[in-house]
Structures are given as C-alpha cells and as structure tokens.
C-alpha cells in the first residue's frame, strides 16, 4: 500500500514515471488514488529530456487546468554507480546526474514557467518540493555519484527559493534517511542490499528505517498553506541521523 496523502488532501494527482522496464506500478497507484476518491493521470516519459519535461507539464495543464504543486521524486536505478569513486564508469555517473539533478532542474523550470504565466486575476504562487537525501548533506562511502547529485539538488532548492519567494512560490527539499521502500525490500531479497549500519546510515537516536508514509506526510505538509512561510529548506526525515 502506498500513501497518496496529497489525494486525500483533495489534490488532483499527475504521476510521471520513467520506462516501465525500470519501475512498475503507475497504474496500480492511480487505482489506489481513485479508490480514495481522488483524480489521477499517469504518463511514462524521461524527465532528463528537455522536451519530455516540458511536455509533461503541458499535459498536466491540459488535463487539470493548472499546476500548483510539483514533487520531484524521480531517482536513477542502482547500478554501476555504487562503489568506490575511482571505479565508477562515467556512463553510470552521468546517468545518475541526468535523472536526479538534470531532471529535477528541467521539471522545476517547466513548472515555474507555467506558474508564472497565469492570466491576470488567476491565483498565483505554487510549491516545488524536491526529494533530496541525507546524502545531499553529507558524503557516504560508495555513493559518490548519488551524493553529488543530491548535493546539487539541495543547492538548486536554495537558489530557486531565493529567486521565487517574492512570486509566491516556495521551494523546499525533503531529505530522507534510510527508508523501507519496495525497492529496498527487493534488494534485500536478492541479497545485494548495502549494510546501512556500516555506511553510517542508521540513526542511533531512532534506530530503525523510516517508512514511505513518513516522507509523504512531510511532502503533504510542505504543500499545504501551513508551510507558506517555509522556503529554501532541506528538511531531514531520518530519525536524527544528521542533526543540526
């Protein structure tokens, strides 16, 4: 069960995913949202492609009339990018940067252009919420490409927040720690899951992995009117792994 809390908050949801060979489940997610009484549309596309990113935002506007909230939650699949930095093939490094960083930039740029282009008298403003990582605030062994991509997302978040605050658009990031996702469970089942404790990724304060719902709840809060005075923040949801 996923946690479509934005749909429970009466949002119309548009879900974009990369090719179905990499990630399955958009149809089932749409079904869950519909069962809760929400509206949902899905599309398979490549956010690292400029024209695809622009087309996705255009599709949202065509279906729902406007775009108010963008959640950048795409992630490159694990592969040859995991390992000592000096052993990472450049192709693997580039793939991670293309999805995690370039894709976040392209989707954010397209969304902002739409948010700023509304007609006179139309409600302005919006929310951009980037899913970054604790690895965007501290380096971890064997994660050079991932850390580089997420540090970039944190920097992009801060920059866009400064640019857009006076236009009513807030930009924040959520930085998860270790989360028990279906992808993590599959890696555990295959026997190739990393030793999170060895990598220093399990918090001693709350010594467990987090749940997807705990991330979804933070996203829903940042998208809400209650977070109107919060921008440029990269908020840790990690059980106290990185404090301060």
Whole-number Å distance between alpha carbons of 142 and 148: 12
Closest CA relative to residue 44, chosen from 16, 64, 25: 16
Whole-number Å distance between alpha carbons of 230 and 213: 21
Long-range contacts (CB closer than 8 Å, 24 or more residues apart) made by 37-41: 37/7, 38/4, 38/7, 38/8, 38/10, 38/11, 38/12, 38/13, 39/7, 39/12, 39/13, 39/64, 40/4, 40/7, 40/12, 40/13, 40/14, 40/15, 41/13, 41/14, 41/15
Catalytic annotation present for 229: no
The catalytic residue among 47, 146, 170, 177 is: 146
Please give the positions annotated as active site: 146
């Amino acid at each position: 069960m996923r946690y479509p809390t934005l749909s429970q908050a009466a949002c119309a949801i548009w879900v974009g995913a990369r090719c179905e060979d990499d990630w399955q489940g958009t149809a089932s997610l749409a079904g869950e949202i519909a069962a809760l009484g929400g509206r949902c549309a899905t599309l398979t596309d490549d956010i690292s492609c400029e024209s695809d990113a622009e087309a996705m935002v255009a599709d949202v506007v065509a279906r729902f009339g406007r775009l108010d909230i963008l959640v950048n939650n795409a992630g490159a699949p694990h592969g040859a990018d995991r390992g000592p930095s000096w052993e990472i093939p450049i192709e693997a490094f580039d793939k991670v940067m293309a999805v995690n960083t370039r894709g976040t930039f392209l989707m954010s740029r397209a969304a902002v252009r739409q948010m700023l282009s509304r007609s006179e008298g139309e409600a302005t403003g919006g929310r951009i919420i980037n899913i970054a990582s604790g690895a965007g605030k501290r380096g971890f062994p064997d994660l050079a490409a991932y850390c580089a991509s997420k540090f970039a997302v944190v920097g992009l978040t801060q920059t866009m927040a400064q640019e857009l605050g006076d236009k009513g658009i807030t930009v924040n990031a959520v930085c998860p720690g270790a989360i028990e996702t279906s992808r993590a469970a599959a890696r555990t089942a295959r026997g190739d899951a990393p030793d999170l404790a060895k990598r220093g990724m399990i918090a001693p304060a709350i010594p467990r992995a987090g749940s997807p719902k705990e991330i979804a709840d933070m996203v829903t809060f940042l998208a809400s009117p209650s977070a109107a005075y919060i921008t440029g923040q990269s908020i840790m949801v990690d059980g106290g792994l990185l404090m301060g």
